[in-house]
Chain A
Amino acid sequence: MALLEVDNVHAYYGNIHALKGISLTVEEGEIVSLIGGNGAGKTTTLRSISGLLSPREGTITLRGEDLRQYKAHQLVSKGVAMVPEGRGVFARLTVEENLQMGAYHRSDRDGIAKDMRRVYQLFPRLEERKGQVAGTMSGGEQQMLATGRAMMSRPTLLLMDEPSMGLAPVLVEAIFQTIEEINKEGTTILLVEQNAHMALQIANRGYVLQTGEIVLQDSAKSLQQNAMVQKAYLGID
């Protein structure tokens, strides 16, 4: 059984049919990339999985358990965490408070303290700024914070929505390295990206989304070789 199974999901915004029967699976331990242009439905897919949006049709299961019966806030304790598009840090909370919010559903003080040290180890920059209000940090630092905050819930499945958006190339490199590192430590990752180049480089498998439909799925290697992907998403003619 796959860790995450999304089957035939249809989602709407009013009359806009945003997802037209999305099906995808993520196996335990994988990095799976979902690539697609602006407005393809990537965010909508992640919001459906994390419960922020209720699809009209279709099933979403985690290790066989139906996720759609739960509200968004109940999914964290099921092991689903999300780094939202645009990072979504709490701008007026301090760095440390943001991380504490990531561990909101937990009450094991020692475990939380240990994970906090781990996040600070992964992102020493965050420790330097732990008393600082998150809104005053740079985009790269906010991305680190959003990632660290998601890690604080000890997720089994981490959903990441365009972590490279708006970041300088050096920082993009660093963020993708961290994603690999987090994955090596045992967290399964579903990564949404417009930056197909990087996303396919670290992924095991990938899906290509176009106007609400999955048009292509394969191993990351084969997708990198695929002519259509090269033309549309990798800028290779």
Chain B
Amino acid sequence: MAQRFKDVDWIGLFLWLFRAAIIVLVLWGTVAKIFFGAGNAYSASDWIDFFVSGLSQGSLYALIALGYTLVYGVLFMINFAHGEFFMSGTMTATVFIALPLSASGFLDRNPIIGMLIILVVAMSISVGVALLTERIAYRPLRRAPRLVPLITAIGASFFWQYFFRGLYGSSLIPFPELQALQGKFSFWGVDILKTRAVVIVSSVIMLIGLYFFVMRTKTGKAIRAVAEDKDVAALMGIDVDRTIAITFATGAAMAGAAGILYGLVFRQVHFFMGFVPGIKAFTAAVLGGIGSIPGAALGGLFLGVIEAVGPPLFLEGLGIPGGHQLKDVIAFTMLVLVLIFRPQGIIGERLAEKKA
């Protein structure tokens, strides 16, 4: 008897109860909200609004998450400086391009050309910062134990934060507002803020473009080959170091673009702006299964939507007030849940199989 008592897997039991409790709470809150109208009353268009704002936030997470996933795919390393790639391009393009273009009126006269210039500059700076970081901080550690580049990445992240704080100061810098993007579009009677529509559409285009780049082009195939086996890739004539650098650059370009879209939505930039979106995007990448590109995209969208819809739905249903301030709690609870119960991510494959 005593023996059998000891065999009870207490941790397993606790985790099982924990999971059951979360599911019950979410369902309870949802049911309370939908059938008993707990909390505020929302109209159908309010719900659509929550959902669309979630999609727009989520598509930003998705774009940033690609960088984590691509780099993890080739190096099995979490690049914690990725949020700073996002920040560096955005701040530089805002200070040197967006604000002057806006002040001179050029941006409102030629919004498309203006935005393209801003986008290209942001992406280029992000790529430059990523390439420098890779070359100086990561490449020399290619053969070091895995914890070493991870810690270096955290160091690199601090370095770039304070570097750009030194350059641009520590105050909030406004991102110019585009006249062309004020107001709403109306689709089949549903009103959507123009900025959100632009963010969603351009993110989706970039996500699809990136998917084709990785799946169809020669360079994309080389990236996948390097992700699987660096020695064999080299035997094929693939320059592994160069391909890894291209992988960093690709992720950083997406982050730079995401930064400008972020500027359009939140209309301010800041040296610390990479931190929270970076961690959220990392969460999204883990949710989708880190290493998987469709996973990063879906993980990002899913996280964005659940952050936006979760508080009015099950948090208010549970009688928790001010739910919107708790969206970070939802995001990180999900990260913890996924790490405990499904570390391969929602649609990802098992990491253990790939490499450990």
Contacts and interface: CB of A to CB of B under 8 A. Distances in A.
A77 interface: yes
Given A88-B232, A90-B232, A104 B224 contact: no
A76 B232 CA distance: 12
Contacts of A140: none
A92 B235 contact: no
A224 B231 CA distance: 34
Contacts of B228: 90-93
B234 interface: yes
A10 B235 CA distance: 21
A100 B235 contact: no
Contacts of B238: 73, 101, 104
A188 interface: no
Contacts of B131: none
Contact of B239 (A73, A88, A93, A149): A73
Given A52-B234, A72-B234, A101 B221 contact: yes
Contact of B229 (A71, A72, A90, A100): A90
Contact of B231 (A52, A74, A100, A149): A52
B225 interface: yes
Given A90-B229, A104-B218, A76 B224 contact: no
A196 interface: no
A88 B229 contact: yes
A31 B239 CA distance: 29
Contact of B235 (A72, A91, A93, A97): A72
B234 A73 contact: yes
A82 interface: yes
Q: Categorize the interface residue count of chain A.
A: 20 to 34
Interface string B238-276: 111000000000000000000000000000000000000
B243 to A, nearest CB: 9
A104 B236 CA distance: 6
Given A90-B224, A90-B229, A100-B221, A105 B235 contact: no
Among B218, B233, B236, B238, the one with the most A-chain Cβ atoms within 10 Å of its Cβ is B236
A99 to B, nearest CB: 10
Contacts of B240: 73
A84 B231 CA distance: 9
Interface in A205-237: none
Interface in B277-302: none
Nearest to A107: B218
B242 to A, nearest CB: 9
Nearest to A78: B237
A50 B224 CA distance: 22
Interface in A83-140: 84, 88, 90-93, 97, 100-102, 104-105
Nearest to A94: B221
B237 A93 contact: no
B222 interface: yes
Contact of B236 (A52, A91, A102): A102
A101 B226 CA distance: 11
A93 B225 contact: yes
A52 B235 CA distance: 8
A142 interface: no
A101 B219 CA distance: 10
A153 interface: yes
Contacts of B231: 52, 72, 84, 88
A50 B233 CA distance: 12
B216 to A, nearest CB: 10
A101 B234 CA distance: 10
B294 to A, nearest CB: 13
A104 B232 contact: no
Among A75, A92, A153, the one with the most B-chain Cβ atoms within 10 Å of its Cβ is A92
A75 B231 CA distance: 13
A149 B239 CA distance: 17
28 contacts: A50-B235, A52-B231, A52-B234, A71-B239, A72-B231, A72-B234, A73-B236, A73-B237, A73-B238, A73-B240, A76-B236, A76-B237, A81-B235, A82-B235, A84-B231, A84-B235, A88-B229, A88-B231, A88-B232, A88-B235, A93-B228, A100-B221, A101-B222, A101-B225, A101-B233, A104-B236, A105-B236, A149-B236
Given A52-B234, A153-B236, 17 more contacts: A50-B235, A52-B235, A73-B234, A73-B236, A84-B232, A84-B235, A88-B232, A90-B232, A92-B224, A92-B228, A93-B225, A97-B221, A100-B221, A101-B222, A101-B233, A101-B238, A105-B237
Interface of A: 50-52, 71-77, 81-82, 84, 88, 90-93, 97, 100-102, 104-105, 149, 153
